[in-house]
Structure 1
């Protein structure tokens, strides 16, 4: 088998380089040994402070082929007012005048009438408390409006 000239030259250079490295890699002679080093005693080192915990990143988190759960439906219904906090405590008529009604709720009592001379009365159009307005007062019903939501509620009197 005949090798081309360039391969023979590369093979020769490789052999020469390996031989040169072989002859250069000899152990040091004792006369060229480094002088011995005298070690001084070690001083006690302060205890190292523990390193703060390193946050680890999970490179391979658990995965699944299951589809993600569907998003929760958003409640788009209008807000509902709280239940009516008032109950009828008393109702009466005095000498063929309009009906007078006493409601109790929220720890207070409210006297409602259309036209009367009772001290502290509430007539239609006035507020019972911060949230409820008396809209109308008839012989059979009291109509109240929950002002934050403008929701009208009717309190029936014929049941009481």
Structure 2
């Protein structure tokens, strides 16, 4: 163990034999292994990777355009059908009140297709319950009476509960 430990120690110059007593009491200067201090600086690291950036032209529904930059190599031109100029959430005054959104698209087609069948089924169907259908549930029932004291409930008291 001591042999390996001494092998790891830096080499020191042996004291030079001298006749004067003052020279022998001085400590020997260690041998400098590196002439510069570059070994004390941290090693240079790799720079952070920069992603490729692609320009993308966005065309709004009114024809105005702007350029956006993206890291995806997607199409260079994107045409928007719904944007801030014609969306009722962004521009409430531009929404056409005559044409409701329920009558447009797949939901509107579904309602128009099945509206007649739904109306016929509603006309043919008899009412499910009549007023007297549930009268049997109240046979033999007693009317419940609740006193004012019970209705008010317990009063909350501060302090310890008894």
TM range (shorter): under 0.3
TM-score normalised to structure 2 length? 0.20
Q: Which has the larger radius of gyration?
A: 1
Write 1 or 2 for the structure with the bigger share of helix.
2
TM-score normalised to structure 1 length? 0.21
